[in-house]
Every structure is written in C-alpha cells, then in structure tokens.
Amino acid sequence: MRDKVLLAAQEPEFTTRLSLTRASLSKEHEVSVLMPKFRARFPPRFVSAALRYTIFALQELMSSTEILHLVNSPDFIHLPALVKRCRVVYDYRSNYSDKLRLSYPSLAGTAARLEEILAKRANLVLTVNDILALRFGKRVRKPVQVVPNYPSREFRPTKSPEAVRIAHDFSGESLALFVGNLTDTYDFDLVLASAGRLANIEFWIVGSGRKESQLRARSPSNVKFIGRVSHSEVPDMIAAADVCLAPIRAYQADIVHNDQDVWKITEYAALGKPIVATNLAPSKQYELVGGDVDSFSEAIKRACSGMIRPAEPKFWEDVSEPTLLEAYRRLSQAE
C-alpha cells in the first residue's frame, strides 16, 4: 500500500537526512516535501523568524496527507501535528533541547517538553544513533527506531587525490583535513596548536563561518583555509587527505554522539579514511583522543604514518534505508 507521506522540515533543501529519507520512502510511498512559503530575513531578527515559523506551522496545519513525517529542530513549528488526523512520524534527528542549554538555558526546558509531547503523539519515533534511542526512549516511554546518518553510495569523488592536491598547491609531506562550519562546535584552538607542532603536515580547513578571519590571523603557515565548497566537492577533498579530523567540543557531561549520527564522521568513513576525533562515544571507526594538544597531534602523526586503522565505509542504502522502509511497513500494517 502506497501511503501519501509529507516530509516537514524548516529548511528542507539543506537537510541531507530529509533528502535521503525522501529518496528511500519514494520507493514504496507517494512522498512530497512541505516547502516554506515565507523565507524573508530582516531586522529585528526575532520578528522575521517568528513570521517564518508561524507561516510554516500554518502550512503544516492546512496540509493534507496520510502520514506526516516531522524532522525535528526546531520543534515548535510542528505543534499542528498534535491536532491533525493522520499518522505522525517524529524524526528526533537532534537533541536540540540539550544544545539549547549552552546558549539559551531558559528555553531548554520548554524545548525538552515539546520533544516529549510530539514523540508521545507520534505513531513512530526515529532517531540517529543507539545512545539517543535509549535516552529518548526512556523519556517518552516508547520504542525509538535508529536510522543512522550514513551517506549515500553516490557520495564518491570525481577527481583524483593528486589533482585535488595540485589544484590547492599542496606542499606538505602529508595532509590532515577538517570539513565543516567554522563554529564553536569545533575546537579550532586544538587544530591550530597541533598544526604548529607538525610542520611537515599540511592542514586544510574546508568550510566557512564567522570565526574564519580570527582563525586565519593566528594560524601557522602550514594551515590552508580552502573556504566553503559544494557538497558534491566534499568527497574529492576527503579522498585527497591522509587523515580526517573531528575536533568536537563537549557541550554536556554525558556523551551522546558516535559514529552513527555525526555526518562528518560518516562521510569521512565513506571514503575509508583514518579519523582522529574528540568527545564522541568510543568506536572502532575513529581514534578517540583527549582534547589536549599532545594526544591530538600524536594521533594525527600516527595516522599519517599508517598506524591508525581506516574507518569502515557504511552507506544509507545498506543500513538506513532498509531500516526506515521496514519501520514504515510496520506503521502501515498497524492501521
């Protein structure tokens, strides 16, 4: 039976998980995406944000579908799901309320309650890793299905590593790569300090953000800022590297992320690269080290010498898609 499924996320074009979900579900269902009709941003920011979120919530309320698939973060835009007469799938892709405690602690409690309300309303709850499934399942007292954030098999390079290195004037003995936004999520002090100790290794930082000019000003000479590249170019950059870096900062006492949900890790792994990471749960997919320069720089050096095992590639089509489709089959059979 082909159900009508509507996928709802605030910025669907930039949500990789939604794109992969749509492609998979379209094999067995009629799938559409709720596209925001109002996208304007203007000062004061809270006014334009309130308008965007309110109009999107009204779109969701007025939509017609048999299954409403909610991609969380933020969650208040999905409140219309509480009154809609259709089956609801709640995709808890992000522990948003935990992250809010860092910057907006007064809102974190409300965000957590919204997560629980929507999950309890849902007929099916999904998440991205085993840790979050266990934690969130206890909170909402219902089963939570894990659909990992593995990349598609189409995530492959189109250029040779040599061509990529030549294009960016590579001059080191080895190449250490970071791909991602230049935000406080990552410990760039750790990366730059490690680069200062490893003069024979060239460090490429692929991405952009408000911290870029500040980081450039205090970077050693063996660090290159490549800037933002299209997602289709990311596999080329990863394939050119000898080691890939995930210098993640801790934002809460208990570790909730691992090799199943962090896109950076799963994309590095898709190209079979050794990975050096911080503040993740233990995994054979990466070399997990402390957040000190000695440990981080030593692990980079060992990876470039072939002393750290490469990650095992895992793909959406092999793991995530079958799990997602089976969960939807059970949802359809339950009606």
Assess whether pLDDT exceeds 70 at residue 264.
Answer: yes
- Share of residues in the chain with pLDDT > 70 (%): 100
How confident is the model over 292-313, as a mean pLDDT?
Answer: 98
How confident is the model over 230-235, as a mean pLDDT?
Answer: 96
Phi-psi category of residue 189: left, alpha or beta, with phi > 0 → left and psi -120 to 50 → alpha = alpha
Q: Does residue 311 belong to any structural domain of this protein?
A: no
CATH code for the domain in which residue 263 is found: 3.40.50.2000
Domains in the chain, number: 2
- 189 and 145 in a single domain? The answer is no
- 229 and 328 in a single domain? The answer is no
Assess whether pLDDT exceeds 80 at residue 43.
Answer: yes
- 186 and 208 in a single domain? The answer is yes
Alpha-carbon gap, residue 62 to 277, rounded angstroms: 44
Q: Does residue 114 belong to any structural domain of this protein?
A: yes
- 115 and 181 in a single domain? The answer is no
Assess whether pLDDT exceeds 90 at residue 74.
Answer: no
Q: Which domain holds residue 292?
A: 161-304
Q: Using pLDDT thresholds of 50, 70 and 90, give the confidence band for residue 105.
A: confident
- 186 and 139 in a single domain? The answer is no
Q: Does residue 155 belong to any structural domain of this protein?
A: no
- Asked which of 84-93, 228-237, 251-260 is least confident by mean pLDDT, the reply is 251-260
pLDDT at 6: 98
Q: Does residue 275 belong to any structural domain of this protein?
A: yes
Per-residue tokens: 83: 């009154």
Assess whether pLDDT exceeds 90 at residue 209.
Answer: yes
pLDDT at 99: 83
Mean pLDDT (the chain, rounded): 96
Q: Does residue 177 belong to any structural domain of this protein?
A: yes
- Share of residues in the chain with pLDDT > 90 (%): 90
How confident is the model over 102-110, as a mean pLDDT?
Answer: 86
User: What backbone torsions phi and psi does residue 278 show, to the nearest 5 degrees?
Assistant: -130, 155
Q: Using pLDDT thresholds of 50, 70 and 90, give the confidence band for residue 251.
A: confident
- 166 and 248 in a single domain? The answer is yes
pLDDT at 195: 98
- 105 and 215 in a single domain? The answer is no
Alpha-carbon gap, residue 257 to 70, rounded angstroms: 21
Alpha-carbon gap, residue 162 to 144, rounded angstroms: 44
Q: Using pLDDT thresholds of 50, 70 and 90, give the confidence band for residue 335.
A: low
- 146 and 175 in a single domain? The answer is no
Residue pair 335/207 in contact (Cβ under 8 Å)? The answer is no
- 84 and 182 in a single domain? The answer is no
